Amino acid sequence: MNSDEIRITFPDGRSETVSRGTSVQDVLSKVKPSRDGWIAAKLNGRMVDLAGKIEEDAALEGIEKGSEEATVVLRHSAAHIMAQAVKAIFPEARIGIGPAIENGFYYDFEVERPFTEEDLEKIESKMRDIISQKLAFKRTEVSREEAIRFFAQSGEKYKVELLEEFTDPNVSYYQQGDFVDLCRGPHIPHTGHLKAFKLLSVAGAYWRGDEHKPMLQRIYGTAFFDVEGLKKYLHFLAEAQKRDHRRLGKELDLFSFTDEVGAGMVIYHPKGALVRHILENFEKREHLRRGYQIVIGPTLLKTELWKRSGHFDNYRENMYFTEIDEQSYGIKPMNCLSHMMIFKSKIRSYRELPIRYFELGTVHRHEKSGVLHGLLRVRQFTQDDAHILCMPEQLNQEIKNIIDFVTEVMGIFGFEYEMEISTRPEKSIGADEDWERATSALMKALEEKGLPFQINEGDGAFYGPKIDVKLKDALDRRWQCATIQCDFTLPERFDLTYIGPDGAKHRPVMVHRVILGAMERFLGVLIEHFAGAFPVWLAPVQAMIVTVTDSQLDFANQVCRELQERGVRAEVDMRSEKLGYKIRDAQMQKIPYMLVIGDKEVAAGAIAPRKRDGMQLELMQPREFADLIEKECLETSRGRIGLGI
């Protein structure tokens, strides 16, 4: 092989000799054609453009259209095309950053006024014009100083700020047409590869996520390689909008938020409070069945205690503090400290272990206002929190018991799920040996249960690794709810001990865990999963009694009392409205059953049940209907919940 030739190795182990300086595109097209077409490539593991030249021996892997990596490249390029369109329509706009994100892309702009829906339509139109020109994405490498001069002359102060923090002496920018943007790349070969896109929304966003910096306008969009993919995603968004728990929470009169109370603070209305009450009673019964002891800890604990636990050094930005009688207190963000105090309140024998403490504990965490999101991200919430203190040799079985608990409960609600192990974060406490023991214990339990899992590096709690359970809802979205955390560190810090068979003191292991997680978050997920149509065992109103005329109200009230005495959650619609209107309203409220009463039903002393899907049942006695509800409750809750709460 002469000096003008280089060797290219492909993922299948094949290798070919090509001329030095050959483009990535030419190598892939001539040597390894793609059925769907290449969009970018990996050169020695690094993502590159197809136009890039290969100057030395290298491993080369093509990235095909439709692959996950190609979609990221497409969406990043779509962000650049959008920014070019914005600059063409609003020349005074200053550009921030524009990355690809999950399911789409965004770009931040400083403009004189907020963008409107009409602006988005104009921007989309201009993007289509840019796409039709098939403008090439051209990469140029320059010195950092040269790039600073260029963007300063262009008035792009945000790019200058980024460049001034760079440490590399050289940087790259991309140009398509007259638009230039600082970027590492890679990009699609030309703008014409963007076939299907949609600008979705506009939101305010602080520059670099810092509330002390300027508020920019962020335009969100999405892009696909084909129109069918875009249509499918837009349908998904429409369905998600229909299921949005914030909208349904208002329509179904479940909960509310108000600035008068404070951001991130939930106000439960009667129906929402009842659903939560049903969930909490379910939780208490399930925990008692499994040998847990119910405990309650205080909301305020002395700051010195939080310092000893490590929360003050590692978590205080998420905590609230106050002072009483010149003594500093922390409002609890977690329940573990009180549970350790209970364990430590007397000498413990190995014969008592494992001890399982359970608390529906209300905690407070300081979340930034920008991340608050309905019930899914709040500042005050209640966890179905438990802490298990056990001997090291009991740890494996306790973790597997929790996994079984999660499996059984998620089955009741109809959730599939995935497992993920989150490992030691940079900000953490404890010895490396303890972290390794804890991580190994979690892995071993999952392996013995035959459950696959992913590793999420560096996302564990500051005191220990954890198993995160990701629920999959009716739209196949993932939600983090249940978690299992293994902790050798806090028992050490709080000097927790038990007397072993040898009469000596030994250190227990502590497992922190939640099953549903935050009740608020889980309720939000449930609302979206069921689209507000709760199963009958969980529905706040199981039956709405509707009359044809006011003359049947006395009998309707009598039926309501009979059903309520049996434990059925029934109400009477007392309004002087037409029957059809009342039935439609009950359906809109997603009530499982409507009980229609007219003169015929009064004469027969019976009711005519109608399901929320419109299915009409035969005439039956109130007691028969109560039996029907009880049977359905037991079936949909897998035998856990009958009538009564």
Instruction: Provide the annotated active-site residues.
Output: 336, 365, 383, 385, 387, 466, 512
Break the chain down into helix, strand, coil percent, rounded to 5: 40, 30, 35
Which DSSP helix (H) or strand (E) runs through 118?
helix 117-132
* Alpha-carbon torsion angle 236, 242, 246, 248, nearest 10: -150
Contact partners, residue 235, CB within 8 Å, separation at least 6: none
Q: How far apart are CA 258 and CA 335, in angstroms?
A: 27
Q: How far apart are CA 216 and CA 214, in angstroms?
A: 6
Q: How far apart are CA 319 and CA 495, in angstroms?
A: 24
Q: How far apart are CA 61 and CA 48, in angstroms?
A: 10
What 8-state DSSP symbol labels residue 460?
A: S
Residue (of 59, 56, 49, 46) closest to 9 by Cα position: 59
69 within 8 A of 110, measured Cβ to Cβ: no
Is residue 81 helix, strand or coil?
helix
Q: How far apart are CA 214 and CA 110, in angstroms?
A: 8
Residue (of 398, 414, 420) closest to 482 by Cα position: 420
Residue (of 523, 400, 394) closest to 451 by Cα position: 400
Contact partners, residue 566, CB within 8 Å, separation at least 6: 623, 626, 630, 643
Which DSSP helix (H) or strand (E) runs through 409?
helix 395-413
From its phi and psi, is residue 53 left (phi > 0), alpha (psi between -120 and 50) or beta? beta
Residue 271 CB-half CA count within 13 A:
21
Q: How far apart are CA 256 and CA 589, in angstroms?
A: 16
Residue (of 616, 586, 509, 598) closest to 551 by Cα position: 598
515 within 8 A of 471, measured Cβ to Cβ: no
427 within 8 A of 478, measured Cβ to Cβ: no
Q: At residue 585, what is the residue type?
A: D
Q: What are phi and psi of 471, to 5 degrees?
A: -75, 145
Q: How far apart are CA 632 and CA 643, in angstroms?
A: 10
Tokens of 613: 């899907």
Is residue 248 helix, strand or coil?
helix
What 8-state DSSP symbol labels residue 617?
A: P
What 8-state DSSP symbol labels residue 615?
A: P
Contact partners, residue 635, CB within 8 Å, separation at least 6: none
Exposure class string for 372-389: b at 16+ Cβ within 10 A, else e:
eebbbbbbebbbbbbbbb
Residue (of 472, 544, 524) closest to 248 by Cα position: 524
What 8-state DSSP symbol labels residue 507?
A: P
209 CB neighbour count, 10 Å cutoff? 10
Q: How far apart are CA 62 and CA 563, in angstroms?
A: 67
Q: How far apart are CA 106 and CA 118, in angstroms?
A: 18
